[in-house]
Chain A
Amino acid sequence: MTKDWNALNIDLSSGTVERETLSCEYVRRFIGGRGLGAALIAPYATEGVDPLDGSVPLVLAAGPLTAAGIPSGDRFSLSTISPLTGTVMDTNSGGRLGRSLRRAGSDLMIISGVSADPVVLVVEDDEVRLEGALDLWGCTVSETILRLTERWGKTAGMSVIGPAGENGVRYASIMTERMRAMGRGGAGAVMGSKNLKAMVVIGSGKVPVHDKERLKVVLEESNRWLRAHPVTSKALPALGTPMLVKICTRAGIFPLRNFQSVAVGEDQAYTGEELAKRFTVSSSGCTGCYIQCGRVTEAEGSRGEGPEYESLWALGPDLGIEDLAKIIPAAHRCNELGMDTISAGGTLACAMELAQRDVRPSTVRFGEAGSIMKVLEDIAYRRGEGDEMAEGSLIMARNAGAQEYAMQVKGMELPGYDPRGAQGQGLAYATSNRGGCHLRGGYLIAREILGIPKKVHGTQVLGKGGHVARAQDFGAVADSLSVCRFATFALAPEYWSRMLHAVTGWELGGEDLIRTGERIITLERILNLEMGVGPDSDRLPPRFTNEPLTEGACTGEVVHLDDLLAEYYAHREWPGGIPSENKIKELGLDE
């Protein structure tokens, strides 16, 4: 089956919709999802571009496996240029939106322009229209979802923004039904700048499968692995991602107080086990997912999804707060306001350290949970100190003349793994195309801490260049297939290759997929270079390269970034951090 892809071109300025066909050959070069998004964003990646002025589109793309009954495979991607980092970015989510879009007969939407008034984009099978959303503007995420659900029913796919997106917070997220987040990079602010409050998609058709019998065989094998792997079958369903708290603490990489130290010992009050025992109401997950890694939690009258490991850390120990009863409502509130928990927490942590050092006054202090909820609100509505915090930690710290205390790369706040004990993760942060991110940089924690597929020592430097490159490439494949990263813990590239062949008929082996991932990563790198984000930005905050850890399992370690980068650039054939002409030609990116 060599099905061409159907795109909806939606111009919010004029309210017009045009249909376009992308050839199967073109799509296959980038797989779909994230890869296709990067290819379609390419014409807009120019120096000085402002993603919030309406000139840059949002590209919402399903993957070729979306809606085909693949385990953990019903995700979709949203690509644009990040208002936080100025880089090309993508973000993705589970939920029904991507599946519904494909069932409605389309594979992607390119949403451009700015609507004069707030609107909801509605796709109902063949019909596409914009509906007024003045009554929804200003609503929180759950209020918006509730009202849309009352009108469209529980089976409709929905993505919405909260007040943070409306007010241009540079790390505003987009939330899908049941509080799944497209969190990092500020896509919610781009959506808000277009006056697009929500997207609702209803599809009643079916997605064709090339070889159903073959798919049955491959799925049987794949499901055996998912059911057998301890992470996907036990740890994540039982504890969710907060299972990592104890593991990262033992490994000496669980950061405290804006990465000033790391947790030591076994008796923390904020572990995944404590969360499960005291606060978890039920598990939850994305549509069609076996793993069900999400949690519904309740504390101090607040009930909602999460916190995930990153949110728990960013709004808890990174701020010196160890009481889960205080952390949980803060995470729920970020979801309600439509705001990335990692960047919100990272910005607060930076403000706290600047205040601790008397560099910049602040209403927030390490260990004082009382003021957090108000400040989160102030950020979302850009009030008082919150207005500056809405710009992110880098701009805030730079304004104070103390950029070194912003724990970020390319302007994106770092997630909860101290790279001094995970050198590969440090390199991954530094080279991530969308900024300091564990997912786009390559989730080296899988190899360095969890031993997936095999343990590679965290403080080892030699060899990490290749590990990071391969993890980034495979990550780009997963994001472009639009499948869950956790499923890739259990299923190697060959499995995805066989699933892809069964669903689409495309002949792409496991290594062909990895090579396509390399094409996507390299394309993103080229787009960043065109926007002025080059090798000079492949750096870490000086804390990680200059200040050795003073406690825990990795005492004495710093990140050996120059050595790591040299090997990484050599592996990728990016001399000096710039893709060589040979590499560009080899990957077919010179066309």
Chain B
Amino acid sequence: MNKEGESFKRLIEEFSRVGRVLFTGGLNNSHSGNLSVRLGDRVVITRRGAMLGELSADDLVDVGLIEDDSGIALASTEVKVHRAVFAATSHLAIVHTHPRTATALSMGRDFLVPVDDEGRYYFKRIPVLAVRASIGSDDLERELPAMLKDYPIVMVRGHGAFAVGGNLEEGLQITHALEWSCDILLRCLALGMTEEDLMDDRTHGEW
């Protein structure tokens, strides 16, 4: 991949802009999370341990979609999960974050169901995937792609969110919307409302 051209500069700008919003929005801590896009039979992914709030050209690594090459040595620990999702779906971008409220709520639920109108507009429900080991794991590589065929975002219990889309901004948008909805749900519960009270539209959960 030519890293000198105007087109690559635009790609870095997109990674950088999205990474900065994720960090400043509290969706990742300083060195967590990762981003990727698919380019033909290549995947451009953030470097292992990169600060998403401060991305530059050196923080982007390209690796084969199927074949391993030297880029794999630098890529995010989650690279095999990203590759599996790209190989199994038509998505072109993945945003992986560690949103606090959604992660907390994922501990006791199989689905997160937004109760606010905007959240319900974007999502009918968000599935929670429970695997024994989640970070860069074979379980995640095996099970996550199938779930991302039916949902634009999936929570991994105790770990974080994987969002997909046509580009990184799309993944950013739904990740933020998820965390916002979970925050509202948490506040409603803290105010003493029950989930049964909040679920006035039962058809929603059947989506």
Q: Give residues in A with beta carbon < 8 Å to B.
A: 214, 217, 221, 224, 228, 447, 453-457, 459-463, 465-467, 469-470, 473, 492, 494, 498, 509-512, 514-515, 518, 560, 566-571, 573
Q: Give residues in B with beta carbon < 8 Å to A.
A: 1, 5-8, 10-11, 37-42, 88-90, 92, 121, 124, 148-152, 165-167, 169-170, 173, 203, 206-207
Q: With contacts A454-B167, A462-B8, A463-B11 known, is A514 near B39, CB below 8 A? A: no
18 interchain pairs (CB within 8 A)? A217-B203, A217-B206, A447-B166, A454-B169, A456-B166, A459-B6, A460-B7, A461-B5, A461-B7, A463-B167, A470-B166, A494-B150, A494-B152, A498-B207, A518-B90, A566-B40, A570-B41, A570-B42
Q: With contacts A470-B92, A498-B207, A514-B90 known, is A454 near B40, CB below 8 A? A: no
B166 touches A509 (CB 8 A): no
CA separation between A510 and B91, bound complex, in Å? 11
CA separation between A98 and B7, bound complex, in Å? 45
Of the listed residues A462, A498, A511, A566, the one surrounded by the most CB atoms of chain B closer than 10 A to its CB is A462
A509 touches B150 (CB 8 A): yes
A423 to chain B, nearest CB (A): 9
A221 touches B207 (CB 8 A): yes
A498 nearest in chain B by CB position: B207
B167 touches A456 (CB 8 A): yes
CA separation between A459 and B9, bound complex, in Å? 12
Of the listed residues A228, A454, A463, A467, the one surrounded by the most CB atoms of chain B closer than 10 A to its CB is A463
Q: With contacts A455-B169, A462-B10 known, is A511 near B39, CB below 8 A? A: no
A to B contact number (C-beta, < 8 Å): 87
The 6 closest A-B CB pairs, nearest first, are A570-B40, A511-B149, A567-B40, A570-B41, A461-B7, A514-B90
Q: Which of A224, A466, A560 contacts B40 (CB 8 A)?
A: A466
Q: With contacts A467-B92, A470-B92 known, is A462 near B41, CB below 8 A? A: no
Contacts of A228 in B (CB 8 A): 121
B72 to chain A, nearest CB (A): 18
Contacts of B42 in A (CB 8 A): 570
Q: With contacts A460-B7, A571-B40, A571-B41 known, is A511 near B150, CB below 8 A? A: yes
A220 nearest in chain B by CB position: B203
Contacts of B37 in A (CB 8 A): 463
**Known contacts A447-B166, A469-B90; can you find 10 more A-B pairs with CB under 8 A?**
A217-B206, A228-B121, A454-B167, A461-B5, A462-B39, A465-B40, A492-B152, A510-B150, A571-B40, A573-B41
Contacts of B41 in A (CB 8 A): 570-571, 573
Q: With contacts A473-B90, A511-B149, A570-B42 known, is A453 near B7, CB below 8 A? A: no
Contacts of A463 in B (CB 8 A): 11, 37-39, 92, 167
A571 nearest in chain B by CB position: B40
CA separation between A116 and B201, bound complex, in Å? 62
B90 touches A511 (CB 8 A): yes
Q: Which of A217, A447, A470 contacts B90 (CB 8 A)?
A: A470
Q: With contacts A462-B39, A463-B37 known, is A453 near B166, CB below 8 A? A: yes
A511 touches B10 (CB 8 A): no
CA separation between A512 and B146, bound complex, in Å? 11
Contacts of B8 in A (CB 8 A): 462
Contacts of A494 in B (CB 8 A): 150-152
CA separation between A228 and B11, bound complex, in Å? 31
B163 to chain A, nearest CB (A): 12
Contacts of A462 in B (CB 8 A): 1, 7-8, 10-11, 39
CA separation between A225 and B90, bound complex, in Å? 23
B92 touches A466 (CB 8 A): yes
B41 nearest in chain A by CB position: A570
Q: With contacts A462-B11, A462-B39 known, is A510 near B165, CB below 8 A? A: no
B39 touches A567 (CB 8 A): yes
Q: Which of B10, B40, B170, B173 contacts A457 (CB 8 A)?
A: B10
Q: With contacts A462-B11, A570-B40 known, is A510 near B167, CB below 8 A? A: no
